[in-house]
Chains A and B, each alone.
Chain A
Amino acid sequence: MEQARWEQVSESEYRFLTVLWAHQPIASSALSVLCQERLGWKKSTTYTVIKRLTAKGIVENQGAVVRALVSKEAVDRRERDALVAKQCGGSAPDFLAAFLRGRPLTGEELDRVRRILDELEQDG
């Protein structure tokens, strides 16, 4: 049953849990202040995440005191076993200044770019 929960924890939530594990049990208001310092989150964001994780059964919020229901060791173990990080790529919308926009490239197109880059190395 624990296994099923991990697939649903995003990296942001994991960072939140890191803060929580170091300070639990902790009042939710104090937790939101900590999240502001460590993660840069607004209060409302912290409360939203607490609500989400409570719904998933990963965290407990009793009388405004927050506690994690799973241990750091269990999650770390799972992280190491996890599959390769999800694919980076796909298009960024055109209203953003992104590193690379446009659709994912085919293998052939990647080769073409690499051949152009080989010239770069020759120039030194």
Chain B
Amino acid sequence: MAELLLWEGQAAALTLTALAAGALLRRRERRLVMPLWWVWLLRLLCPLSLPLLTLPNPPAPALSAAGVSPPPAVGGALPLIWLLGAAALLLRSLWRRWRLGRALRFAVREEEGVWCCDALAVPCAVGLFQGRVYIPFRLPEEVRRWAIRHERTHLRRHDPLLLLLTETVCALHWWDPLIWLAAAVLRENMEMACDELTLRFAGGGERRAYFEAMLHFAAPAGPAPCFAATEAERRAAHVVSLRPLSRRAAGGIGAVLILCALPCFITAPPAPVPAGTVRFESETAFARAVCAAAARSDAEALSGMVRYPLTIRREGELVQLEDPKDFLLSYSRIMGAETIADLCAADPEDLFHSWGGVMIGQGGIWFEGSAENGFEIIAINALK
């Protein structure tokens, strides 16, 4: 859970950096922000981090201090809900693309890489690697020229791939509204970057022609008052107010942005493994060891398997155990007959998992951890 939040937090930090960069580069070239967006996508698609730097260990979590049973089965439903949402969105994504493919079947090739299609109202660039430009039939010559140039720029910049990755990220992180917001900003940045590049060597008159061509596809709708600037306005305003940067300045800014993004690859620290801990290769192995130790009343062994401080509730009172010595002193009070019986009867292969940890048997003992970092008992409950 902590790793998940860290992951989302890093993405949020990257998003804010990208938004800030966009704001700072208001009158400058937005395409400089695009590498940052690629980093954002990479970060969100890849749950692992590069161990560039690990954070110092946080203090022992308060979870084990509660002494009451870890959260009930609802916690176990969350991963399933996520999976359903992600699967639904990914399927929708695939379906839309398939439907587009069907519509584009009857497109006719006009020239190398340019196809005309009845089904499209607006020119599009389609295809991840060997892309094609699709335009409607019968476009006026000027419009056609600019549309093709714009779409070809999209293809050169691998924008269809960018969009596919963005959709995937949104599907995987569907529950995080910041991601959707960021995706919208990403798309607008992408379009502005494309405008900038297409118009790089164009004079004022040509720029006007470009936008007139674009407006050809903004057919007038009915009277619908809207006070927000439309996409066309924003893009036109951006190009109008653009003051190009020198190459060196652009390179410098790009480098700074990437550097700002690096902290987002920091890993969460591994849980500390106390010296002398026996390593177990799996949860089952650990559970088996716990049950075996309980069965032969091996208090010493059990005391070494616990995460301290351990707060337990026994007969209505809270007891705090600071270290193995406390555990040994209170052993008979902690491990009641029912708890031990439950552990003996428990099947180490059949462990219940929830957000709180892993449960052995009917809930007398909960533990957490991993084979790499070691396992620890985090709660012991008296069973009636």
Binding site for B on A (CB under 8 A): 10-13, 15, 39-42, 45, 48-49, 85, 87-110, 112-114, 116-117, 119-124
Query: Does any Cβ of A come within 8 Å of B26's Cβ?
Result: no
In the complex, the answer to whether B204 meets A120 with C-beta atoms within 8 Å is: yes
In the complex, the answer to whether B115 meets A40 with C-beta atoms within 8 Å is: yes
Query: Does any Cβ of A come within 8 Å of B226's Cβ?
Result: yes
In the complex, the answer to whether A120 meets B211 with C-beta atoms within 8 Å is: yes
- A37's nearest neighbour on chain B, judged by CB, is B109
In the complex, the answer to whether A92 meets B121 with C-beta atoms within 8 Å is: yes
In the complex, the answer to whether A88 meets B136 with C-beta atoms within 8 Å is: yes
Q: Pick the contact of A12: B118, B138, B230 (CB < 8 A).
A: B118
- A-B pair number, CB within 8 angstroms: 172
A124 to B206, CA, bound (A): 9
In the complex, the answer to whether A40 meets B108 with C-beta atoms within 8 Å is: yes
For residue B136, which residues in chain A have a CB less than 8 angstroms away from its CB? Answer: 88
Binding site for A on B (CB under 8 A): 93, 96-97, 100, 105-109, 115-118, 120-126, 136-139, 147, 150-151, 154-155, 159-160, 163-164, 167, 187, 190-191, 194, 203-205, 207-208, 211-226, 229-233, 236-237, 239-240
For residue A119, which residues in chain B have a CB less than 8 angstroms away from its CB? Answer: 240
A93 to B377, CA, bound (A): 52
A8 CB, nearest partner CB in chain B, Å: 12
For residue B237, which residues in chain A have a CB less than 8 angstroms away from its CB? Answer: 116
- B154's nearest neighbour on chain A, judged by CB, is A97
Q: Pick the contact of A98: B122, B204, B207, B233 (CB < 8 A).
A: B122
For residue B220, which residues in chain A have a CB less than 8 angstroms away from its CB? Answer: 104-107, 110
For residue B231, which residues in chain A have a CB less than 8 angstroms away from its CB? Answer: 100-102
Q: Pick the contact of B218: A13, A89, A108, A117 (CB < 8 A).
A: A89
Given A104-B219, A110-B220, A113-B211, the answer on whether A96 and B100 have CB atoms closer than 8 Å is: yes
A75 CB, nearest partner CB in chain B, Å: 15
In the complex, the answer to whether A11 meets B138 with C-beta atoms within 8 Å is: yes
A13 CB, nearest partner CB in chain B, Å: 8
B233 CB, nearest partner CB in chain A, Å: 5
Q: Pick the contact of B221: A101, A103, A122 (CB < 8 A).
A: A103
In the complex, the answer to whether B116 meets A11 with C-beta atoms within 8 Å is: yes
14 sample A-B contacts, Cβ–Cβ < 8 Å, listed by A number: A40-B109, A89-B121, A90-B122, A92-B122, A95-B97, A98-B125, A104-B219, A106-B221, A113-B218, A113-B230, A113-B236, A116-B233, A120-B240, A121-B208
A122 to B207, CA, bound (A): 11
A34 to B164, CA, bound (A): 34
In the complex, the answer to whether A99 meets B108 with C-beta atoms within 8 Å is: no
